[in-house]
Chains A and B, each alone.
Chain A
Amino acid sequence: MTTRLEASDREPRTTAEGHGGVALRDVRFAHPGRGRRAAPVAAVDGVTLAVAEREIVALVGPSGCGKTTLLELVCRLMEPDSGTLASAPAVLMPQRDLLLPWLDALDNAALALRIHGAGRDEARAGARPLFEAFGLEGFERARPYELSGGMRQRVAFLRTLLSGKPVLCLDEPFGALDALTRTEMRDWLGAALTREPRTTLLVTHDVEEAAVLADRIVVLTPRPARVAAILEVPLPRPRRGTDPAVVALREQALEALGA
């Protein structure tokens, strides 16, 4: 292994979990209503959840249940209305890759390094080894519009990783991909997280994706989000969607979802 990204301690923050974890206690959040007289819309309604350092937790729930809001809270894009939220610095990877079209793939991946003050050459040099390690070699100079959807998500994931933050918040990272690419990217992400372990919150509505990738599956209720069930996934990696144990877990999760 040539490179190993250390989570940056640029921004030391004491958390309930100490180093790289996330802890939510009875967190509530309501979006302000649209229009003058509209009532606030509750999105997260008393979620308590502890994520250990380097643990991968999948959040599954029906669409629009408030999963994204939960991630945005962890990323400190918003503050909870009540409850306590302690987390090591977290970075968001949205569903759409949001690569900057005016930068090539390597510059996009290295964006966080530039933001943290590195020069262009230094930032590119920092990102290049990961390109090689994560199957993007040869695409360094490609513009985002020249890349396939799966490739773009890989670049977006590297951009997230290179932020150096210990907590990754992945918001349906493969939601916009076709089924085949999705499966391929799921395995890719599993391998990537084995190589570069991080505390990971993975939002998905695909229970199979959750069962293949996560250490624990947190099933959320329809909006406003509450924890409906927590399923442990004590299976060895790498896992396949067709493994009987994975299939059984998928059934369990679907049952908890009420599907």
Chain B
Amino acid sequence: MIAAFLILLVLIGGWEAYARLGHVDEFILPAPTQVATALWDDRGLLWHNLLVTAQEIGLGILLALALGALLAIVIHLSPTLRRVVYPLLVGSQAVPIVIIAPLLVVWFGFGIAPKLAIIALVCFFPVVVTTLDALAAVDPEQRKLLHTLDASRWQEFRWVEAPAALPGALSGAKIAVAVAVIGAVFAEYAGSSAGLGNVILQAIPQLETARAYAAVVLLAAFAILLFLLLTLAERLLVPWARRDTEWSGR
């Protein structure tokens, strides 16, 4: 913990020194102290917009989790759909968001809907992959055993596959946290009236680079918070699957 804090301190110190002494214009790279000042001076504006973006990201990830888990289950249950749908899903990840973002704005307007669509789109794929892997990892012997206990296909799913898939889906959501933040900023760039992406979009042409960086710091902090929340959810929901994916180690 102390080591982590020291490393962070050294990194910030290096950044400060470079920004102050490295002949870089503050409009290109503000020093951490300037970012901190902007963070404090614009706190009202930033807080208000953070709430907007946080809501988009939170709901977007929940949507991705539901959608991803559902798709994984459908693909898992039907070999035909696996052959048809899975390649399409992989293909969907190659579509640059910039191309379809305007289309989504045309369809859904400037409200929260197109933001959720974009975040879900960039986030659902890791959830599908990790959930499918978890479903495939179910021991075939386990199926035999349930069969001799007279379990139906539905009961096999309910008792074995669904609980096995849950930690997989949550792992996918943890992977998705970082891209969710990027997706939210993209979505706000494509058309928005509020949110931290919107703040960045407006701050840069106004040469308020420190404010843009302050927004980025908040986005990063929010991503960390979300990751921790998902780790907590994992602990509460799947206590049997404690793995070394936590920062604190074991």
Report A's interface with B, CB cutoff 8 A.
11, 72, 75-77, 90-92, 94, 96, 98, 100-102, 111-112, 114-116, 143-145, 159, 163, 165, 169
Contacts and interface: CB of A to CB of B under 8 A. Distances in A.
Contacts of A77: 144, 147-148
B163 A115 contact: no
Interface of B: 139, 141-142, 144-151, 155, 159-160, 163, 238-241
Nearest to B149: A112
A111 B149 contact: yes
B150 A72 contact: no
Contacts, number: 53
A115 B149 contact: yes
Contact of A143 (B146, B149, B239): B239
Given A11-B150, A111-B159, A143-B239, 20 more contacts: A72-B144, A75-B144, A75-B148, A76-B148, A77-B144, A90-B148, A91-B148, A91-B149, A92-B148, A94-B141, A96-B141, A98-B145, A101-B240, A114-B159, A115-B146, A115-B155, A143-B240, A144-B240, A163-B149, A163-B150
Of B145, B148, B150, chain A has the most CB atoms within 10 Å of the CB of B148
B163 A102 contact: yes
Contacts of B238: 102
Contacts of B142: 98
Contact of B145 (A11, A94, A116, A143): A94
A94 B140 CA distance: 12
Given A94-B141, A115-B155, A100 B160 contact: yes
A92 B240 contact: no
Nearest to B242: A145
B236 to A, nearest CB: 13
Given A92-B144, A98-B145, A112 B240 contact: no
Contact of B151 (A11, A96, A101, A115): A115
Nearest to A112: B149
B240 A102 contact: yes
B144 A101 contact: no
Contacts of B163: 100, 102
A144 B150 CA distance: 22
